[in-house]
């Protein structure tokens, strides 16, 4: 076997290496029920698992950061900027009544970035192992762009619909709620909380589909 043939064999072997975990068997058993669509269904189910793990990383990192080095306080209200012209200029959060410059924004950004990196690594190794010989930097850039687009769209959706879905859904659920809590009295805050939860669940489902299909046909469009 000449050097060229050995290189091709080694490359193919690397491309066929796949991370195995306990979920592979049940995923494969479910996917087989879809006949000639089995491979794509298997990839979708694996991608969904990766998405759940990414959500755990996102929430976990956020909780850890806020419990340690990034407590949810406004940066520009800290002692670093007291009695300075800089503090007056940079107090955008007070002017706009939103936490533009806060530890919350930094913590959520860090958590989101780490979740995207985690999702990308698992997607490369477990969902599309055949694609690992291609340009990883290009794929990471595409994967990140898709994730940021989806995350932004979900934020807009949840923000827009939280106060609209609650008043629609809560009256329907009141009989069930009163079974467990007869004294429950609905109010705008409760409606907003319920609306945000429902909007978040809907947004997560839709954005998961967006992430999967956008990555399937763009980031990993070369995978057969």
Stretch 89-100: mean pLDDT = 47
Q: Report the percent of the chain where pLDDT is more than 70.
A: 76
The residue behind tokens 């794929």 is 139
C-alpha 48/C-alpha 121 separation (Å) is: 14
Asked if residues 207 and 150 have their Cβ atoms less than 8 Å apart, the reply is yes
Q: How far is CA 110 from CA 23, 44, 101, in A?
A: 28, 26, 14
Q: Please, are residues 157 and 201 in contact by the beta-carbon 8 Å criterion?
A: no
Q: What pLDDT, on the 0 to 100 scale, is given for residue 58? A: 92
What average pLDDT does range 107-114 have in this prediction? 89
- Across 146-152, average pLDDT: 94
Q: Does 9 score more than 60 pLDDT?
A: no
pTM of the model: 0.73
Does residue 34 or residue 11 have the better pLDDT?
34
CA dihedral (127, 130, 134, 137) in degrees, to 10, reads 20
Average pLDDT, stretch 165-190?
Answer: 84
- Helix, strand, coil percentages (3-state) for the chain, rounded to 5, are 80, 0, 20
Average pLDDT over residues 56-82: 72
């Amino acid at each position: 076997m000449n050097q060229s043939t050995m290189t091709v064999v080694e490359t193919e072997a690397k491309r066929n290496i796949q991370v195995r975990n306990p979920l592979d068997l049940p995923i494969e058993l479910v996917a087989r029920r879809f006949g000639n669509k089995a491979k794509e269904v298997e990839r979708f189910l694996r991608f969904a698992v990766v998405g759940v793990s990414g959500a755990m990383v996102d929430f976990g990192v956020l909780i850890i950061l806020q419990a340690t080095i990034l407590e949810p306080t406004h940066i520009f209200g800290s002692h670093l900027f007291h009695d300075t012209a800089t503090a007056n200029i940079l107090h955008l959060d007070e002017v706009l009544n939103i936490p533009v410059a806060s530890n919350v924004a930094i913590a959520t950004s860090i958590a989101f970035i780490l979740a995207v990196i985690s999702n990308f690594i698992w997607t490369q190794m477990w969902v599309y192992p055949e694609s690992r010989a291609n340009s990883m930097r290009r794929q990471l850039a595409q994967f990140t762009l898709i994730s940021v687009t989806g995350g932004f769209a979900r934020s807009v959706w949840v923000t827009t619909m939280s106060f609209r879905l609650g008043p629609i859904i809560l009256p329907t659920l009141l009989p069930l709620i009163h079974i467990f809590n007869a004294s429950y009295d609905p109010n705008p805050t409760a409606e907003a909380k319920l609306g945000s939860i429902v909007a978040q669940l809907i947004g997560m489902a839709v954005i998961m589909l967006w992430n999967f299909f956008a990555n399937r046909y763009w980031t990993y469009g070369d995978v057969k």
